[in-house]
Structure 1
Amino acid sequence: MQEVSAIYTIRSKYNTLSAKEKKIADFILQHPKESVNPSIEELADQIGISESTMVRFARKLGYSGYQRFRLALAREAIPSNEQVFETEVNETEDATETVFKNACKNLEDTFAKLNRQTVRETALLLAEAKTIYLMGLGGSNILAQDAYHKLIRTGLNCQYASEFHMQLMLASQAKKGDVALLISHTGVGHDTLALAEELHNNGCTLIVLTSNTRSPLAKMGSKVLGVSAGSSLVVAESFSARISSLVLIDSLYVLILEHMGEKGVDNLNKMRSIIAKRRL
């Protein structure tokens, strides 16, 4: 649809909405800014309706889905500087201070809610996997590549591809005894869910790293590693959540090496030795 004011669209179509949809409309009209950041699951709980009603509401307004509606609402309700920094901006701070403070807070929030036992169990699954598949799309692909860069040092059998169709081909080869780490900030992308479904259907153990632990993707994971979403889920890949994800991947790497013992150290030293030969 041609992009118009989300607020205007709600008001102009208000009389065509059902009673439950009007409940959503009333909440958003009263709290437009506060309606942007929560996930569809969180906002549905807050309003007291189902997720499916939220989707029907967005489509009745003319949007292809709830995410498209939320982006339209964000452009209207969130000041442009907050859309850039993904947090409320203090005018006394410069850009560098704002970004660093937001990243530090995100790390603290992630660590505070992190289930350390789940992290240890996840590391054990990866250490004992026949093959490890490292996957993610868009900005999450950068995280998957970082995980590949770390875990290949251990000598474990790791598979990674940067392009969706190549990842889908890898997923088609997965089998029982394999483990996939699938990374997604929102956990709602169609292509990401297609990867998860293919891995699941092939009996591959699925580990999900996400900011949205109530997403459709998270519900498919055998293990779910959650990172704080920061102040906003509007941007497709929150840079503060990315930092926390990288640190969490580092934690898995260290735990895997601890589990592997001398074998892991030997493999690591082999890698260091061959790299050292290429240095002056």
Structure 2
Amino acid sequence: MKLNRVPARTGWLWVRLGLRTFARQPLAMGGLFFMFILGVSVLAMVPVLGAPLALALLPAATLGLMAATKEAASGRFPMPTVLASAFRAGRERARAMLLLGALYALGSLVAMTLAALLAGGAPAANGDDARAIFDDPAVLRNLAWQGVLYLPLGMLFWHAPALVHWHRVHPVKSLFFSWVACWTNKAALMVFLLGWSAVFLVVSLVLVLLASALGGAGAVQVLLFPVASLLSAAFFTSLYFTFRDSFLTDDGAPPA
């Protein structure tokens, strides 16, 4: 397997492929995304160990959504069991994915801890007042540092689940290959992220205009959550294509 360098415009192609594939199977891809979010959210509510376990399962869950996209792109209907693809491919790959998940949970906890330290400690805003929380400079500094620290973490894990699952790459090696692939195609990934930001922005503006026509902010609040959730599902649908086009097998074929 080898890296495949793609032009910057491929980033917008990934956005379009994600939207197109989601449009082909909206119920399947949307339902799988909601199952993913529900499972992670419920697990995160478990005291003490819930949040680390939820973080540790994110790589496997992301791989499940990528496998679902592969099914949908091939014209097949992805079944709910596809979410557990990482744990249905044999013990060796299941253990490798669990190790990758543990590394991700550790990296996330380190990033959050460093962000809190660099922001000057934990914020003291009243947790019952959302406006007070986001008016607290400590909260804003913490979020800014989390964004900075999660960027390299995201590059390390962007392609790692797919490399571990489909190509049996060791979890530690997959982090290196993922980083190199992201850096090699950084222009395309930047266009990809900017493209999705533009999609979210345009849809938000349409919702605001629609709310004005319907008479009030209440309409926006009713539509905002389902529309944002569907767009998020489409975003996760597009992740598979960023992996497929960033690598080639030795015979020049796509990696998955």
Q: What is the TM-score with the length of structure 1 in the denominator? A: 0.23
More strand per residue:
1
Larger-Rg structure? 1
Bigger RCO (CA 8 Å, 6+ sep)? 2
